[in-house]
Amino acid sequence: MNVADKKRLLREMLFARRFEERCYEAYVERKIGGFLHLYSGEEACAHGVLEAARPGHDYVITGYRDHIHAIKCGADPKKVMAELYGKETGSSKGRGGSMHIFDVEHRFMGGYALVGGPFPLAAGMAKAIKMKGGDEIAICFLGDAANNQGTFHESLNMAKVWNLPVLYVCENNLYGIGTRIDRSTAVIDQYKRVSGYDIPSAQTDGQDIEAVYKAARKAVDHVRGGKGPYFLELMTYRYRGHSMSDSNAYRSRDEEREWSGRDPIIILRDRLIEAGEITKQDYKALDTEVLDEIEDEVIAFAEASPEPRVDELEKYTFAENDPWVYGGGR
């Protein structure tokens, strides 16, 4: 990772933060409905891992906290915001919403709202990659609490038995909604849990993007090298509530303060300032630039876009005019 990369990543992570915080505002203004899960505080996880992978080439899948993963894969932030606004120009044409961002062109294979749902889907994509003989890998990002689902164990087992090119990334933010990990989970260190499947794993600071990148480099090389699945645990924290209705009453202010002191954007910023690569003023200017872009381009696009037509309500339920439905004829 050279200085130019770090500067770019600083901008990307700052953009991600400002994007999410702007979603928060839009939700309060009732422009965005439903459930909204923000990624603020966890930016170094997606950015660090995908920096080590090949976004747009590797297949990425995740849960409902999915905006930033999609954007890092190459999805247009305008389309992601338009999706949150429920617009026809949205990445899923307004049919998906915040939890179901898809951008198949950039191989972002979706956000899924069933906790643990993507585990086997990722293994399946890896199976397909293997059959086709490509050099892609499948990457699945999910939370810590998802590891208590059966799909976690079923998928790890199959991935190992069939030596599938899949990287499981656990974004361990210590909570599943309001339940702290030690109250729900017998083994706190998630990377230890996969030893039961003989899958190599590691645990890393998820707030320091360079640490994430380094660990992910090793993980990605392992998987792409044909050595089978890998499990990477990133220790992180979400700065907002689980979703918009959550006041974080179950977390201590001390704990929150401790983690705000480890903000992934500030860590990288200060490192760049210390190295003399940027100044405080540069960072301020960057922030203004990002905020303007979000307002003038992203929000403006979402606002101006049309809603889906009600007469197209049933579109996308089934494939259109599939000849095999009619016995191959017609």
Ligand X SMILES: Cc1ncc(C[n+]2csc(CCOP(=O)(O)OP(=O)(O)O)c2C)c(N)n1
Question: What is the contact surface with another protein in residues (CB under 8 A)?
Answer: 59, 61, 90-97, 100, 102-105, 109-110, 112, 114, 117, 119-132, 138, 150-151, 154-155, 157-158, 161-162, 315-319, 322, 324-329
- Are 96 and 83 spatial neighbours (Cβ–Cβ below 8 Å)? yes
Q: Which one of Mg ion, ligand X, another protein, none interacts with residue 115, CB within 5 to 8 A by kind?
A: ligand X
Per rule CB under 6 A, is residue 161 in the interface with ligand X?
no
Binding test (CB under 6 A) with ligand X, winner from 32, 115, 290, 299: 115
Q: Which of 188, 184, 179 is nearest to 248 (CA)?
A: 179
Per rule CB under 6 A, is residue 242 in the interface with ligand X?
yes
Residues 6+ apart with CB under 8 A from 316: 93, 95
CB-nearer residue toward Mg ion: 173 or 201: 173
Give the type of residue at 211.
Answer: A
CB-nearer residue toward ligand X: 144 or 263: 144
Binding test (CB under 5 A) with Mg ion, winner from 63, 143, 165, 206: 143
Query: What is the smallest separation between the CB atom of 287 and another protein, expressed in angstroms?
Result: 33
Query: What is the smallest separation between the CB atom of 139 and another protein, expressed in angstroms?
Result: 12
Q: Which residues pair with 230 in a beta bridge?
A: 167
Q: Which one of Mg ion, ligand X, another protein, none interacts with residue 112, CB within 5 to 8 A by kind?
A: another protein
Backbone φ and ψ of 186, nearest 5°: -65, -40
CB-nearer residue toward another protein: 276 or 329: 329
Per rule CB under 6 A, is residue 176 in the interface with ligand X?
yes
Per rule CB under 6 A, is residue 111 in the interface with ligand X?
no
- Which region, judged by CB under 6 A, interacts with ligand X, from 8-16, 81-89, 170-178, 266-274? 170-178
- Are 74 and 26 spatial neighbours (Cβ–Cβ below 8 Å)? no
Per rule CB under 6 A, is residue 248 in the interface with ligand X?
no
Instruction: Please report, as ranges, the residues that interact with Mg ion according to CB under 5 A.
Output: 143-145, 173, 175
Instruction: Please report, as ranges, the residues that interact with ligand X according to CB under 6 A.
Output: 65, 113-115, 142-146, 171, 173, 175-177, 242
